[in-house]
């Protein structure tokens, strides 16, 4: 199985409006944390997220959270280069 590219080793904090979002699961998107189609040709697919009311979100950017698309602190356990 392919491993995702780590976009960054910290979450992305945003206040998001209600709506549908597509979280980048591959780590290749230039529009982190959102999918821009860069996963084409890989086994990855974006995760669809429905936000029902405006709120702050900690998007996972390391791509290794067990609560994807949201941060669970997995980035703190990954090797630093």
Taking only the tens place, the pLDDT of each residue in 14-33 is 999 999 999 999 999 999 99
Structural domain for 27, as ranges: 12-70
In a domain, 76, yes or no: no
In a domain, 41, yes or no: yes
In a domain, 36, yes or no: yes
In a domain, 3, yes or no: no
Name the domain count of the chain: 1
In a domain, 6, yes or no: no
- Provide the CATH number for the domain around residue 46: 3.40.5
In a domain, 54, yes or no: yes
Q: What is the pLDDT of residues 33-76, one digit of tens each?
A: 999 999 999 999 999 999 999 999 999 999 999 999 999 999 99
Residue 12: is it exposed, middle or buried by C-beta count within 10 angstroms (0-12/13-18/19+)? Answer: middle
In a domain, 66, yes or no: yes
């Amino acid at each position: 199985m392919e491993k995702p590219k780590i976009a960054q080793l910290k979450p992305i904090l945003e206040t998001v409006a209600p709506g549908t979002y597509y979280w980048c699961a591959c780590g290749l998107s230039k529009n982190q944390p959102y999918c821009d189609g860069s996963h084409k040709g890989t086994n990855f697919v974006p995760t669809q997220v429905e936000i029902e009311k405006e709120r702050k979100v900690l998007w996972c950017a390391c791509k290794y959270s067990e609560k994807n698309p949201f941060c669970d602190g997995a980035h703190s356990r990954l090797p630093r280069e």
